[in-house]
Structure formats: structure tokens, C-alpha cells
Homo-oligomer: A and B are copies of this chain.
């Protein structure tokens, strides 16, 4: 019997993630790790973003779920290449899963790879997937106290995307509190307020992604 300690697994994951990130760089692929609670609106946000990005860019999606392929089917209906990972109970994706899934795109020239992680505000935070940017979604229906209660994931994100802002009139959600908590915890992270239903803020997020593409010497028109 071979026993492997958790620390070794994390180290092995980080090494594999670095290797995968170098491959993404060589392929001129921007990889985005999309995280959030179950039902935060991750797939719906991706659907909305795909309506905004120019046709010249080729996106792809890796979907992480415990079971089934509900989200992958939604992405496929948009004609976008997608691979579903079923973790079969595991609470997060890891770099090894991404390396295996990304092989499915080997015959394509992917500009933007969205990795939709398992819905989990805790365990996903600890695993580097080889991504270039990390975004965390927080729906207004989850409440404005989540930054303080689940600090690790928010501390390590490049952008916080507050989703379902159309529900704000029906909720006690103080956006200023979220801004103040993020200022303290992750002052460099950008913050967006979006509603996939009304379209509010979606273009801002798409442009932010475009800026990350450009900052990696890949122009939106390439």
C-alpha cells in the first residue's frame, strides 16, 4: 500500500499546474478559473459572456461537476467546444483533471479557456489549475457576509463578480459592505456587479477578460 500525504499532493498539483500554464502560454490560450457556490450563476455568466465576445476569438469550456453533464449541455447548445469532468464526489477540480480534459481541444486553437469549477466556496480555493486569472462569483441572494465568512477564496481572486444584481431590490444585500471587505482582504481584485438576466455589467466583464488577453501580448483582434 502506498500512502501519500496531503502536502505532497498539493505540491504535485502546483508543479503540474505550472507546467499546464506554460503550455497555455505557448498556445496563446488565456485560462480562467471560474469559482463560486452552487447556484451562484457560473454557467449563466459564461452564456452571457459568449454573447459579448467577438467572433474572432475562439472560446472553450471545461465543466466540473460531481455528476451529470447539465452545464456542458448548455454550453454545447451555443456551439462552443466543451468537455465535462465528473469528479464523482470530489469537491474541486485539480491540475491533473485539467490536463486530461484539455487534450480534447488539442486539434483546436483556443483563445479563451473557461474552467468552471465545482460549486464550492471552500475547497476549490486551494488548487491551482494552471489558470492565468481567477474569478469568484457571489450572487446577491447568498448575502453580503460571505467575503468575511469564506475569506480564503476571495483573498486569492483577481475579480469578484457579484451576480443576480436584478434580485437586489428583493434582498438585504449591502454592496458597500462587500466592497469594504474586499478592500481589506483583496485590494487588487476588480469588482463587478452583473445580471445575466438584464445584461447589466456583462460587457464590462468581457472587456476585463479582453484586457487580460491583451496584457499577455494577445490582442482581441488576433
Q: What are 28 sample pairs from A and B whose C-beta atoms fall under 8 A apart?
A: A3-B3, A3-B5, A37-B37, A37-B119, A37-B142, A38-B146, A38-B149, A38-B150, A39-B146, A65-B149, A66-B122, A66-B151, A66-B152, A67-B149, A67-B150, A67-B151, A68-B149, A71-B149, A89-B122, A119-B121, A119-B122, A119-B150, A120-B121, A120-B123, A141-B164, A141-B167, A166-B170, A167-B167
Contact residues of A: prevailing secondary structure: loop
Q: Does A109 contact B (CB under 8 A)?
A: no
In the complex, how many residues of chain A place their beta carbon closer than 8 angstroms to a beta carbon of chain B? 34
Cα distance A8–B24 when bound, in Å? 39
Contact flag A122-B37 (CB < 8 Å), given A70-B149, A167-B170: no
Residues of B within 8 A of A213 (CB): none
Given contacts A39-B142, A67-B149, A141-B141, contact A123 B170 (CB under 8 A): no
Fill in one digit per residue for A144-172: 1 if any B CB lies within 8 Å of its CB, else 0.
01101111100000000000101100100
Q: A120-B122, A167-B170 are in contact. List 11 more A-B contacts (CB 8 A).
A: A38-B142, A38-B146, A65-B149, A66-B150, A66-B152, A70-B145, A119-B149, A119-B150, A120-B123, A122-B123, A166-B170
